[in-house]
Structure formats: C-alpha cells, structure tokens
Amino acid sequence: MPSIPSYKMDQETKYELLHSMLFIRLVEEKIAEKYSENQMRCPVHLSIGQEAIASGVCAHLSPNDKLISAHRSHAHYLAAGGDLKAMLCELYGKIDGCAKGKGGSMHLIDLEAGLISAVPIVGSSIAIGTGVAWSNRIQKLDGIVAIFLGDGATEEGVFSESLDFAALHDLKVLFVCENNHYSVYTHISERQHSKRSICDIARAHGITSFSAEGNEVVEVYDLTKEALSFMNDNACPVLVEFSTFRWREHCGPNWDDDLGYRKDGELKNWMDKCSIKSLRDNLGISDTRYLNLVNELNEMILDAFKHAESSQFPNESELVSDVYA
C-alpha cells in the first residue's frame, strides 16, 4: 500500500475548500431555519457537520467524472457544483426543481455537475454507480465514478456484491464511505462487530483502501488525491473511509441530542472538531473577511430561496409525464 504523502496545500486551495464547506453549511442552516414554514414539504437529511468529505472529495472531480449519492445528498450536490436554485425548487416541490418536483430532497440530480442521481434506499446507489463505471469501461469513456455511501450501507449485501464486481472488472470507482457512526438512532457498535473494518472488507475483495479523519478537510483532500492517483496508475477501484459525525437529527431540521441516543459529550467533541472552524483558524482569515464571505454567500442563498418560493408548482399534466421515456 502506498504511503500517504503530506501535501503542502496552497492557500488558494484551502480558501476554495473553506468556501465550498461554508456554502453547504449556510444553505443547510437556512433550510433548517425555514423548514418550520412548512413550505419545504419533503424529508430532508442535513449534512451539517459532514461537509468536509463532500468538499474535499468533489474538489478533485473533473468534468468527465461522475458521482452518485444517497439520502443525505445536499452536500454532494452542492460540492459537485449542482445548481442551488434547482435544488431548492426541488425541496419546495416546484417545476424548476432539478427533478421537476417529482423527486424531492432525496432524489437530487444535476447531470451537468456530474451527479447521476441520489437515491435514498440505502446501498442501492452503490450498484448503480458501479454500473455506470462498468459502462464507462465497456464504452472506453474517460472519467471515474465517486459513490458516496454511509456506514449503514456497508451492512447491505449490495455493498459487498458491488465491491466484487468493481474489483473483478477493474472499474474506476471511488467508494467514499462517510462513517458518521449512526444509522438513524442506532450506533455502529450495535450494528457491526468491533473487529469489523470497512476498509478490510474492501481489501478482502482485492480493493485498496485508505481511511482518514473526515472532519479535517485537508486530510480528505490529500487522501482523495492519493486515492485517485493510485486508481489511475493501477486502473482499479479504491475505497476511502472517512470518520465524521452528523450534528442534527437523522431526518429533519432539528437538534435531537436530547433524545439521549448518543453518549454525553459526543456531539460536543465533534462540534469542537468543526471542519469549517479549524480551516478558518488554519488560514488565519480575519473576522471581517470571514463575515464578508458569509454575507456574500447568504445573499446568494437568500436569492435562491426567493426564487424557489416564487417558482410555480408543476401543472397537472406533469403527473403523468415521464412515467415512460
């Protein structure tokens, strides 16, 4: 296994990563804030606390690359460059939504940004993404496929089945496991044996795998760079596992630590490891510059919300269109 070199990241890249993470954070905080207006009437799975992985991985995706996501997909959509207005319209159920309001938050798609789709049936997207990589290979198309999955998805049989196929056919798949330790309210220790290692499962299928701290965006960025260079040198799939934590409830806009399903202090420990705060400190950005960035992003975000709120609902004819191609 190759060693992970410590990349000397330039300030500009760091700033871009900060921008990406902060953008996702502010969009989702605004969704959380406005959710109680009861106009976004679909389940939302917020990524607040987990932004570093989406931003650090997607920073490496080029125009030929593709990604596929699952139920917690906002961060991936935005980090990949998905259209914010189309995403918010989708959450509001409007015709200008990325899926014309027919998918909702759990079915984001932006083909121009490379996002094949997001599907909420845990594990299901892993096979579909693998199939896209397979057809890339058969058709001799360039590009990799990044498949974002959670720790829960690795418990599905389809995960192992897809690893096998990706390895068997030397597919350029980057399996990105965001291990946030919880499947809804159930801790990983209640679902997986303590000796079970997600990286080792990949290795057992002949797939090289790496893991890193998922709340350190520089680590995520560097490891992904290394993983992709290994993939391109060896024409093979790679799995990367990042440890992280979701701050808010599994589904919905609220904080839910009061439910007591997480250990005392666990949330605080992870919030102390906030990827945005640590990169901001590392960059040494002045308060004024940071606030200017926040205000600039918020202005754009508010504008997108206004667009979504004033956009039209699909008309009746949309009910029966798109059932068949």
100 near another protein, rule: CB under 8 A: yes
Residue 129 makes contact with another protein by CB under 8 A: yes
Q: 67 - beta bridge partners?
A: 115, 146
Out of 19, 60, 102, 307, name the contact with another protein by CB under 8 A.
102
Q: Does 88 bind another protein (CB under 8 A)?
A: no
Pick the closer one to another protein by CB: 299 or 322: 322
Q: Are 113 and 107 in contact (CB under 8 A)?
A: no
138 lies in the binding site for another protein (CB under 8 A): yes
Q: What is the distance between the alpha carbons of residues 131 and 244, in angstroms, rounded to a whole number?
A: 27
Question: Measured from the CB of residue 145, what is the shortest distance to another protein in angstroms?
Answer: 8
Rounded Cα distance between 202 and 188, Å, is 18
54, 75 contact by CB (below 8 A): yes
Establish if 133 lies at the interface with another protein (CB under 8 A): yes
Residues whose CB is less than 8 angstroms from the CB of residue 109 and which lie 6 or more positions away in sequence, other chains included: 98, 99, 103, 115, 116, 117, 118
CB of 168 to another protein, least distance (A): 7
Interface characters, 178-197, with another protein (x: CB under 8 A) = --------------------
Footprint on residues 153-172 left by another protein (CB under 8 A): 157-158, 161-162, 164-165, 168
Residue 324 sits in the site that holds another protein (CB under 8 A): yes
| From 4, 15, 83, 131, residue interacting with another protein (rule: CB under 8 A) | 131
Q: Is 136 in the site for another protein (CB under 8 A)?
A: yes
Are 72 and 57 in contact by the 8 Å Cβ rule? The answer is no
Cβ-based nearer residue to another protein, 47 or 125: 125
Least separation in angstroms between residue 132's CB and another protein is 4
Phi, psi of 161 (to 5 degrees): -60, -40
Cβ proximity to another protein: between 132 and 177 the closer is 132
CB of 129 to another protein, least distance (A): 6
Convert 29-50 to b/e letters by CB count within 10 Å (16 or more is b).
Answer: bbbbebbeeeebeeebbbbbbb
Query: Should residue 80 be labelled a site residue for another protein when binding is judged by CB under 8 A?
Result: no
Q: Which residues bind another protein (CB under 8 A)?
A: 97-103, 107, 109, 111, 116-117, 119, 121, 124, 126-136, 138-139, 141, 157-158, 161-162, 164-165, 168, 321-325
